Amino acid sequence: MMKSDNHYEAAFDAFARRYGAAVVPVVEARRSYLDAAAVKSPDFLVLAPGGVKLVVDVKGRKLPGTSKNGQPRIVWHNWCERDSVVSLGQWAGQLGEGFRGVLAFVYDLPLLAQLPPGTPDLFAFRGRLYLLRGVAVNDYRAHMRTRSPRWRTVHLRTDDFRELVRPISHFLAGEPSPTASPLTANETVS
CATH number at residue 88: 3.40.1350.10
Backbone angles phi, psi at 62, to 5 degrees: -95, 140
Per-residue pLDDT band for 177 (boundaries 50, 70, 90) equals very low
Q: Is residue 138 part of a domain?
A: yes
Q: Give pLDDT, residue 30.
A: 57
Q: Is residue 128 part of a domain?
A: yes
Q: How far apart are CA 135 and CA 42, in angstroms?
A: 15
Work out the percent of the chain whose per-residue pLDDT is above 90.
69
Overall domain count for the chain:
1
Q: Mean pLDDT throughout 48-77?
A: 87
Does any domain span residue 184?
no
What's the pLDDT band for 185 if we cut at 50, 70, 90?
A: very low
In a domain, 114, yes or no: yes
Helix, strand and coil content of the chain, in percent to the nearest 5, comes to: 25, 35, 40
Distance CA(70)–CA(106), nearest Å, equals: 22
Strand-pair category, 99-109 with 52-62: parallel
The pTM score is 0.86
How far apart are alpha carbons 149 and 82 in whole angstroms?
10
Domain-embedded: residue 187: no
Q: Is residue 188 part of a domain?
A: no
SS3 110: coil
Is 2 domain-assigned?
Answer: no
pLDDT tens-digit readout, 118-158 = 999 999 999 999 999 999 999 999 999 999 999 999 999 99
Among residues 88, 75, 110, the alpha carbon closest in space to that of 26 is found at 88
φ, ψ dihedrals at 71, nearest 5°: -80, 145
Separation of alpha carbons 18 and 34, rounded Å: 31
Taking the alpha carbons at both ends of the chain, their separation in whole angstroms is: 29
> Of 39-43, 108-112, 123-127, 179-183, which gets the smallest average pLDDT?
179-183
Beta carbons of 55 and 42 less than 8 angstroms apart? yes
> Exposed/middle/buried for 78, CB within 10 Å: 0-12, 13-18, 19+?
buried
